[in-house]
Structure 1
Amino acid sequence: MMELDEIDRALIKALSKDATQSAGALGRKLDLSQPATWRRIKRLESEGILAGRTLDLDREKLGFGVTVFLGVKLATKGRVSLDDFERAVTAIPEVQRVEHVLGMYDYRLRVTARDIADFERVLRRRIMTLPGVGDVEANVLLSEERRPGPL
């Protein structure tokens, strides 16, 4: 595992706030040259610490007003492989996140839909027809107070 110094940590923090900043702009903030900053970013990427840069979209403004968290318990673990389920569920565009979890359910899904009727369509026609799906529990997101940030 790579040792991070204070400059690496400051660089990660700055990128987590705005990943679109140029190496030159970041370097000015951190008192580094543009090439030195660029080399540090490339090293963090090659080590897998920076695994990509994401775009934070406003789902509601794009017409997706409902987010539902689904707990999915597979009915037949012996007959259907986890890989088959994961491959099938990740092909559904409304499923934004798939998490394999330990507990009452085998998977936790984050599903985004235009409205409740759209979610019902996705649930009935896509999710409930996946290989091995047994019990499903839905929790509708009412509000999101805290967004993920830097570690």
Structure 2
Amino acid sequence: MSGPATEAFALDDTDRKLLRALAEDATQSSGALGRRFGLSQPATWRRIKRMEQAGVLAGRRLDLDLKRLGFGVTVFLGIRLATKGRASLEEFERAVSAIPEVQTIEHILGVYDYRLRVAARDLPDFERVLRRRVMTLPGVGSVDANVMLSEERLPGPL
């Protein structure tokens, strides 16, 4: 789940503007972005490519409307492992990554070892995922669930 520590990448004001614009709509062409910010298409493309190669732009993703796809319940799970150690962490991460309903896996510091975001069709579907998939994961000690009632702020640019 985690990678090696890396140095901060130096961004100028134009890079920041490009990042904000791409965070709003990642489908914009380098030509359109260049016109918007007073750059040529090749210069804009080079800036974006440089940020991709440095890992600043780690990818582009498609945001799905889970409710329209039939997933009406989102639950956040706090997972505390019964045993801790490098092997048990890796084994848990590998197993939980295979559960399609788990949208995010966060290794955290605090009361829990992991925080999961789980999408389910409804509460009975979530109970099935919890009992048959999550509770059977290697090393799971305890689980705490919080059902999301609403989401007021969606992820956006920094």
TM-score relative to the length of structure 2? 0.92
Letter in 2 for 1:118: D
Residue correspondence of structure 1 range 11-50 to structure 2 within 5 A: 11-50=18-57
Letter in 1 for 2:52: E
Structure 2, unaligned stretches of length 5 or more?
A: 1-7
1:46-68 residue CA offsets vs partner (Å, 9 max, x unmatched): 01111111111110000000000
Residue correspondence of structure 1 range 47-126 to structure 2 within 5 A: 47-78=54-85, 81-126=88-133
Whether the 8 Å CA contact 1:80–1:131 is kept in 2: the answer is no
Letter in 2 for 1:7: T
1:96-132 residue CA offsets vs partner (Å, 9 max, x unmatched): 0000111111100000000001000000000000001
Structure 1, unaligned stretches of length 5 or more?
A: none
Aligned residues: 151
Partner of 1:5: 12
Runs of 4+ aligned structure 1 residues displaced above 3 Å come to: none
Partner of 2:3: none
What do you get for the CA RMSD once the two structures are aligned?
Answer: 1.2
Q: What is the alpha-carbon distance in structure 2 between the residues aligned to residue 79 and residue 97 of structure 1?
A: 20
Q: What is the alpha-carbon distance in structure 1 between the residues aligned to residue 157 and residue 92 of structure 2?
A: 31
Choose which of 128, 134, 149 in structure 1 pairs with 2:135: 128
TM-score relative to the length of structure 1? 0.97
Letter in 2 for 1:148: P
* Residues 30, 123 of structure 1: alpha-carbon distance in 2 compared, 3 angstrom cutoff: same
